A and B are shown apart, each in its own frame.
Chain A
Amino acid sequence: MTDNILTQSEMEDFRSIAGAMIPGSVEFRVPGADDPAIFADIVRSIGRDFSDVRASLAAIAAIAGGTLAGMDEARREAAAETFRARHPGLATTLGRVVLQCYYRDDRVVRSLGLEPRPPFPKGHTLEQGDWSLLDPVRTRPKMWREAP
């Protein structure tokens, strides 16, 4: 085990917990966070959060009484919920590490009706809106105070 690479066991648990966090959905036509491409992106992107991710996985394993991989869905979800309740700080970090990659996957982005692209250089269009809404505000007297 090195300091910056998850062990095989940690990887399996992490993938299980990612799948428990965001499972695939036929209804919404999206993969789960344990999808191979998404999970690979998650692992590549841990970066500054490595120590918190490792601590999270250790806490989950302790709650589950062993490895999550191979555990039935109900027990896995129960372990995830217990972890979230007992370790809210770590759960926030672990969630962010998963969410920041899940919601940039092309399939997920398209399922939201969006084009999978960065903002630049195409940008977006912003409607002007109805500026006549300002009319009643324009008629108000001065609100700020003069000062000596």
Chain B
Amino acid sequence: MAMVTHDIVDVLIVGSGASGAAVAWSLADTKMKILCLEQGDWMKPSEYPSTGRDWEARRYSDFAIFPNRRGRDTDYPVNDDASPMKIACFNGVGGGTVMFTAHWPRMHPSDFKVRSLDGVADDWPISYNTLVPFFEENDRMMGISGLEGDPGVPPRHPPMPPLPLGKTGTRYAKAMNKLGWHWWPSDAAIATTDYEGRAKCINLGHCTPGCAQGAKASTDITYWPAAIRAGVALRTRCRVREIPTNEHGMASGAVYYDADGVEHFQPAEVVIMAANGIGTPRLLLNSKSDRFPNGLANSSGLVGKNLMLHPWPMIQGYVDEEVDGDRAPMLSLWSKEFYETDPGRDFVRGYTLQFSRGTGVVNEAIASAGFGKLPWGKDHHRAYRERVFRRLQIGVACDDLPEEHNRIVLDPVLKDSNGIPAAKIEYSMSENTRRMMEHGIARCEEILRAAGAKDIHCSRTALNSPGHLLGTTRMGTDPRRSVVNEWGRSHDVKNLFIVDGGVFVTGGGVNPTSTIQAVALYIADQMKQRLANLFD
């Protein structure tokens, strides 16, 4: 079958998730002809799990966070056998924001200058202060709830009040005050009041696999309606295979397959990659040519390397009364007590503590059984009733410094349903990270005991896999040590930009979506300022 060739566009964006949506919306005011290709579908909130009685079970099937388990025809497989952490992502309009828990911390100023401050890894070529206006703009666009005045983080101005403390948050707060440690209600990408056409949160609980209420800020209901009104086109079910180049070594567009497997070529003057820290390097590595034999934009050899995943142990305990369980957003508090480097510890950098509310009746049973705490047989019912709705759970969001051996490569065997080579993950934790994890786990155990919890448990082998895919196309001023420059343009291909989490030089100890979007807005702003000489 002949390849279908489309009319040329000015800007082609690959991926419609956190970064693709933000950059599309920002560039729309240039009145350029902008098109986004998305391999998934538009989501239907009426079909999200929380609308049905099987809402918890669907987190193990069509709304699993792991693409290999989910296995939708819009997903691509990832070989993560060589990693203790599994890869989480989602393919659909909104990308990972459809399938995130809406935690909304920003990276700290120190996270951008780790070499200067702590003598490890590398500094970013930009600073926190560079991003402040874009953080603020993004908070308004996404609709963020939170409380000003936190001494643990730089000033920010969430447009909505924070999520309530609830019973669980109150328990945590008392425990933290007893210990004299910092805590604050988490910023959340969840509307606590009606906001810009979104209804306020009614505590459906299961925020991660899509919000049927529309209170959670996935980009399909935040940026995309605004971008489309401004003239941006979004084409779904387009699985990009490669970014070809022309005789001048410039990206010429994208080759993709539609839902029927028909091959298309979409020409473009500018190509922006926004396919996440796995999808983007996978596509670049799959775009080899005589001119770019190691993959596109890869003269540094760093495409796919320095993968950061945020190791994330979870520590649980059980109290003697019912708390919130899954009858509210999972998010509750954060603590920055151990975030910044302390020379008195045996590791550099630090972590955020994230306090969660608990889980539902099905997931409590499944998790407790997985920990070996829920017997089979006649004792099952008694043991279960001592646990359901009594769980406290704290996550340790560890800073995960870049290491070149942590990387994605193309799998020699595994392919997606269109025959495109899949990504293979090679990842291991550093000694610094292990020490940080152990420090965090010990602090969580102290907190849980202070909160009156018993039966405290932590799995060190089955780490939470939050799906933070960072560092694989890093930003920098030196073309030998980075893939894109300080404003997101490929060092090698002057009309190719990358705006997703791959450009992160370091990852901090926080959920990255807020920072990913701020960086994408910053890069879009840089492009707009340089339109007259964008390719110089």
Q: Which of B144-203 contact A (CB under 8 A)?
A: 147, 149, 151-154, 163-167, 169-170, 173-174, 176-177, 182-184, 202-203
A127 proximity list for chain B (CB < 8 A): 164-167
Evaluate contact between A147 and B116: CB separation under 8 angstroms: yes
Given contacts A95-B369, A99-B369, A144 and B152 within 8 Å (CB-CB): yes
Partner of A23, one of B60, B166, B203, B378: B378
Evaluate contact between A147 and B165: CB separation under 8 angstroms: no
Partner of B57, one of A30, A45, A112, A137: A45
Partner of B362, one of A28, A30, A99, A119: A99
> Which residue among A84, A112, A133 has the maximum number of chain B CB atoms within 10 Å of its CB?
A133
Partner of B109, one of A99, A101, A145: A145
Evaluate contact between B362 and A27: CB separation under 8 angstroms: no
Give the complex CA separation of A75 and B424 in angstroms. Answer: 45
> Which residue among B56, B165, B388 has the maximum number of chain A CB atoms within 10 Å of its CB?
B165
* B 31-57 to A, binary, CB cutoff 8 A, 1 in contact else 0: 000000000000000001011111111
Q: Which of B286-307 contact A (CB under 8 A)?
A: none
Min distance, Cβ A111 to any Cβ of chain B, angstroms: 9
Give the complex CA separation of A132 and B4 in angstroms. Answer: 63
From B205-213, B475-483, B497-505, give the one contacting chain A: B205-213
A25 proximity list for chain B (CB < 8 A): 378, 381
- For chain A, give the interface size range: 35 or more
The interface residues of chain A, by DSSP majority, are classed as: loop
Evaluate contact between B327 and A100: CB separation under 8 angstroms: no
For the A-B complex, the count of residue pairs with Cβ-Cβ distances under 8 Å equals 183
Give the complex CA separation of A80 and B378 in angstroms. Answer: 13
Q: Does B235 contact A (CB under 8 A)?
A: no
Partner of B173, one of A103, A118, A122, A133: A133
Partner of B117, one of A47, A131, A147: A147
Evaluate contact between A137 and B128: CB separation under 8 angstroms: no
Q: Does A143 contact B (CB under 8 A)?
A: yes
Give the complex CA separation of A92 and B369 in angstroms. Answer: 7
Evaluate contact between A144 and B164: CB separation under 8 angstroms: no
Q: Does B239 contact A (CB under 8 A)?
A: no
B163 proximity list for chain A (CB < 8 A): 126
Min distance, Cβ A126 to any Cβ of chain B, angstroms: 4
A134 proximity list for chain B (CB < 8 A): 147, 173, 184
Give the complex CA separation of A42 and B326 in angstroms. Answer: 23
Evaluate contact between A100 and B109: CB separation under 8 angstroms: no
A131 proximity list for chain B (CB < 8 A): 165
Min distance, Cβ B355 to any Cβ of chain A, angstroms: 13
* B 209-250 to A, binary, CB cutoff 8 A, 1 in contact else 0: 000110000000000000000000000000000000000000
Nearest B residue to A23 by beta-carbon distance? B378
Q: Does B83 contact A (CB under 8 A)?
A: no
Q: Which of B99-155 contact A (CB under 8 A)?
A: 108-110, 112-113, 116-117, 127-128, 147, 149, 151-154
Nearest A residue to B152 by beta-carbon distance? A143
Min distance, Cβ B315 to any Cβ of chain A, angstroms: 20
Q: Does A65 contact B (CB under 8 A)?
A: no
Give the complex CA separation of A48 and B71 in angstroms. Answer: 9
B173 proximity list for chain A (CB < 8 A): 129-130, 133-134
Instruction: Provide 9 A-B residue pairs closer than 8 Å at the C-beta atoms, listed in order of the A residue.
Output: A30-B381, A80-B377, A96-B366, A99-B362, A123-B202, A129-B166, A138-B149, A140-B151, A147-B117
The 6 closest A-B pairs by CB, nearest first: A129-B165, A123-B202, A124-B327, A147-B109, A119-B204, A100-B57
Interface residues of A (CB under 8 A from B): 20-23, 25, 27-28, 30, 45, 47-48, 77, 80-81, 84, 92, 95-96, 99-104, 109, 112, 114, 116-131, 133-134, 136-138, 140-148
